[in-house]
Structure 1
Amino acid sequence: MTMNRVTPILRIFDEAKAREFYVDYLGFKVEWEHRFEENFPLYMEVSFGECVLHLSEHHGDSSPGSAVRIATTQLKAYHSRLLEQNYKYAKPGIEETPWNTAEVRIADPFGNRIIFYAPLQAE
């Protein structure tokens, strides 16, 4: 038996704000979108490299305030890229943790926490 990639579902409430945060700010790309009918809630997949997230406006798909940890390489360069964008709602720092990771923590507009991390020795 094997287990494969995990795809978290994060609750969103506003499509424009979700695109501004995940696509424009974080640099993810939209892979696909789905609505059962026009003017129904959005369910979409975004990706950045091998990282895949599902974003859902559907009640019950997820609870706001969830947290996702995303392993990454070149964390310092990514952190610099985020700061250069001068995003109005986030100015994340890099934290070194007791468990030997460097982490960049960012809250999305819906209260979900995205934690990008790398082993300290990789930085």
Structure 2
Amino acid sequence: MKLGPVVPILRIFDERKAREFYVDFLGFAVEWEHRFEPGLPLYLQVARGGCVLHLSEHHGDCCPGAAIRIDSADVDALQAELAGKNYGYARPQVDDTPWGAREMSVKDPFGNRLTFTSAPGG
């Protein structure tokens, strides 16, 4: 049996803030979005490289405050890219872990924590 990649669903509450954070700041692209009809909650897929996330305004899909880890080939380059955007709500920094990885955590406007990590020696 072969398992496929995991696609986390993260709870969002405000479409404008979600797009500002995930698209404008983190550099994800919206691949598709869905509403059952105008005015109903939004569900969308964003991606950057091999990382795919689902963002949902639907209250039953998931709880706010999730924590996910995202592999990154060069977390320092990502941090430099983000620092250059002067986003007013986050200034993530890279830290060394006791196990030798380099990591950068940032919280979205809805309390979800994304930790970008470069493997030890990577």
Shorter-chain TM-score bucket reads: over 0.9
Quote the Cα distance in structure 1 between the aligned partners of 2:120 and 2:80: 17
Corresponding residue SS for 1:20: helix
Q: In the alignment, which residue of structure 2 is the partner of 1:4?
A: 4
Structure 2 Cα separation of the partners of residues 94 and 49 of structure 1: 20
What is the distance in 2 between the residues matched to 1:100 and 1:43?
A: 36
Can you give the 5+ residue segments of structure 1 that lack an aligned partner in the other structure? Answer: none
How far off its partner does 1:37 sit? 0.6
Runs of 4+ in 1 over 6 A off after TM superposition: none
> 2:82 and 2:93 mapped to 1: Cα distance?
10
Equivalent in the alignment of 2:91: 91
Q: Distance in 1 between matches of 2:52 and 2:44?
A: 10
The 3-state SS of whatever aligns with 1:90 is coil
**Native 8 Å contact 1:96 1:120 kept in 2:** no
For residues 42 and 104 of structure 1, what CA distance do their matches in structure 2 show?
A: 28
Structural RMSD (CA) = 0.7
Q: How does 1:1-123 map to 2 (within 5 A)?
A: 1-122=1-122
Residue 101 of structure 1 and its aligned partner are, at CA, apart by 1.0
C-alpha separation in 2, matches of 1:46 and 1:30:
4
Shift of 1:120: 3.2
Check the 8 A contact 2:99/2:120 in 1, yes or no: no
Q: Could you tell me the TM-score, scaled by structure 2's length?
A: 0.98
Tell me the amino acid that sits aligned with residue 82 of structure 2: L
Distance 1:112 1:72 in 2: 18
- Cα distance in 1 for partners of 2:110, 2:104 equals 18
**Secondary structure at the counterpart of residue 69 of structure 1:** strand
For structure 2, the 5+ residue unaligned runs are: none
Instruction: Give the AA of the match of 2:113.
Output: R
Superimposed CA distance per residue, residues 3-62 of structure 1 (whole angstroms, 9 cap, x where no aligned partner): 110000000000000000000000000000000011000000000011000000000111
| Separation of aligned partners in 2, 1:15 and 1:3 | 31
May I ask how many residue pairs the two structures share in their alignment? 122
